[in-house]
Amino acid sequence: MPGFLNFEKAEDSAKKVLEITSFAGIDLSSAKADIERKRSPDAPNMMPDSKGNPIKRTGFFLLKNYGGRINGAFVFGEKLVVHAGEKLFADGELIFEGLADKISSGQTVGNKFYLFDGKAALVYDGEAVFPLCEKAYVPTVLISKNADECERKTVLKGNGMSTRFILPGKPAEITLVSVNGNPAEYSLEEETVVFSSPPAENAEIIIEARLENEPGGTLKEEINLISNRWKESFLCDTGTEKSFTLSQKNLSEGAVKAFVLDENGSWQEKTEGTDFSVDRENGKILFNEAVSKTPVSGEDNLVIEAEKVFEGYKDKINKCCRSICFDNGGTSGRIFVCGNPEKPESDFWCAAGDPTYWPDIYYSELCGKGSEVLGYSVIENSLATYISRPKDGRSIVIRLPFIDESGNVSFPIEKHLQGEPAVSPNGFVFMESEQLFLTERGVYAITTEDISGEKYTQNRSYFINRALCKEDLKNAFGTKWKQFYVIAAGGKLYLLDSSQRDYRRGEPLSGFQYECYLWTGVPARILWEMEGKLFFGDEEGNVCFFSEEKDFAGSYGDFSPEGKKAICAYWTFPDFSGETFWRNKTVKTVALELAPYAQNKVRLEFKINGIWKVIKEWTGKISYFGWNAVSWPNFTWSGNSEPRTVAAKTKIKKFDKAGFRVVCDEMDKAFGLYGFSLEYVEKGRIK
């Protein structure tokens, strides 16, 4: 009787190969069974190379310790300005003390740097630092004002019938009333001279009097919130004016200044106590001698500058700690500020090109009680302002500049966007073609298409959301570094790579997701990019930077106060369960293709039932000689800098699924992964 062929047995014994040669980022959000082979469920301190292959990150090094936690770092020209604790430094030199010890913001306009720390706005001109209010712009609030009174000669003509003649103002004193040169009897009713009998027709009536003037004046500029001082200008057209009243009473003890235009067109300063006296309670200035008549007909010839404490005005700006530059056309000549705890619903902006002038009408109230203006971003020609905890879901206010017929610019609300509200005031970063920001559900994006719509639902951080959303995102800090959106939170850095996008999966209604990476052991409080390098400041006053010398072995270690420490980096592959998950697997060979480094050391590990064990370790064989990376224990004369393929024979028997990872956790050792493969057989059923 012929035998039967056992096809199942033959199939079981056939050698099979798993190969992974294409890589992406990490996936900390999907179920383990759903993670694609090209991604890793656990890969600390890895980043992509130019082709997306995972490589070990370089270490960070100490630039300087500033003695206080780092609250801000700003590039001003060629200087690095650092806010540490309550002190301000420029290129490491102390330039100011007395700041608030909290995260600040700063903007450069023209050739000056403006710092907003929530205590007192400051200006740095490259040499000195001073409070913004000390050298604030002094606006001319009113022009073409009148003196309190002046001597005037009024010439009238009689008509033989009327006895009543109206003066051009209320007289404080009448010195002469004559008809055809002869004194005449009269009485006074308010501003009207009443004769006892009507002057004859064509009789010349002359009335000389000191008349009271209406204040008059035309509004020119607004009071400056950041300054106690302002100016008003007067027109003296008779040369008899001595008394002048300002629009404000209860002046402070600050000096009152006066300037008079002389016949040569020059302004001559007059001195309080010598040339004039001041009634501060009533805001009156009295000159000892009359101010001379204006040398230019119709042009103001007296300017008075005074001071008054406008309660709460300076604090509206001084107590703000968040800022952005924005103006018409998306330019950066004007600063917007918010974050005042006493005015959480409001923001303020300065005059175009002059951050020393904050007109008292330049503000908006953008939300109700319980909400807060959290921060800003510029999207093309519009200003996006983020509202925390919005009651109606309208969490982003879009404003566009509007120029009226007189050329004045205002910033009316164009529309609102609805969606997940921002939570971090320091997480707004523009990446490539879209604005990113942090929410309780991860990183969200606003695209230019969203500006023309009503909603945004573009989540970009699906692959790290499960871990990221557990962090204290209110205190997280974000920045742009090369193609990465980098988030500092919980002693870790989360990186979103804008050059790698996944269009096949993610949260509903999101067009794509960024590939993501996670760095551990980085105690960053704030982040910034300078000269292509990623910098951070920490709670201990350290300013550090990540090395860009990837070929230098000494780059692969992190600074710590106790000394340099090794970086633990590894790439974990998704659990391997073969072609048929319910069959027994046996792995016989494992191979790696590794990136070339002068000092390279990795070990391959496997995991069964939660326990990791070493398969093999490679060092000199995968390195090449380089003078900048000589290590005698791992010395090699090899000059081969091509990618290295290594393999290990093993026998991992009878498992249903297993984990594999490649580890590089020693000091000054690099690691890069190009490929992973294993040879296995499937035989028998899992019992």
pLDDT of 354 higher than 50: yes
CATH assignment of 149-212?
Answer: 2.60.40
Give which of 454, 438, 225, 437 is closest to 347, Cα–Cα: 225
Mean pLDDT (whole number) for 460-474: 97
Question: Which residue in the block uniquely carries the two structure tokens 């406008």?
Answer: 310
Residue 507 banded pLDDT, cuts 50, 70, 90: confident
Q: What is the pLDDT of residues 213-222, one digit of tens each?
A: 889 999 999 9
Tell me the Ramachandran region of residue 593: left when phi exceeds 0, alpha when psi lies from -120 to 50, beta otherwise: beta
Separation between Cα atoms, residue 245 and residue 256, nearest integer Å: 13
Q: What percent of the chain has a predicted confidence (pLDDT) above 70?
A: 93
What does the pLDDT read at residue 132?
Answer: 97
Question: Which residue in the block uniquely carries the two structure tokens 């090794």?
Answer: 566
Could you give the angle at the alpha carbon of 182 between the alpha carbons of 167 and 149, nearest 5°?
A: 30
What does the pLDDT read at residue 551?
Answer: 85
Residue 244 banded pLDDT, cuts 50, 70, 90: very high
pLDDT of 95 higher than 50: yes
- Contacts from 432-436 at CB under 8 Å and sequence distance 24+? 432/483, 432/498, 434/458, 435/377, 435/379, 435/384, 436/460, 436/478, 436/485, 436/496
Pick among 3.30.1370, 3.30.450, 2.60.120, 3.30.60: CATH of 9-38+568-685: 2.60.120
Residue 478 banded pLDDT, cuts 50, 70, 90: very high
Q: Which residues contact 42 (CB under 8 A, 6 or more apart)?
A: 26, 28, 570, 572, 661
Spell out the domain ranges in the chain.
Answer: 9-38+568-685, 149-212, 229-307
Could you give the angle at the alpha carbon of 373 between the alpha carbons of 460 and 432, nearest 5°?
A: 30
Q: Quick one: CATH architecture of 229-307?
A: Sandwich (2.60)
pTM score above 0.85? yes
User: How many helices (H) and strands (E) are present in the chain, helices listed first?
Assistant: 4, 56
What does the pLDDT read at residue 339?
Answer: 97
Question: Which residue in the block uniquely carries the two structure tokens 């040669």?
Answer: 21
Longest dimension (CA), the chain: 161
Least confident among 3-12, 535-544, 606-615:
3-12
Residue 450 banded pLDDT, cuts 50, 70, 90: low
CB 188 within 8 A of CB 171: yes
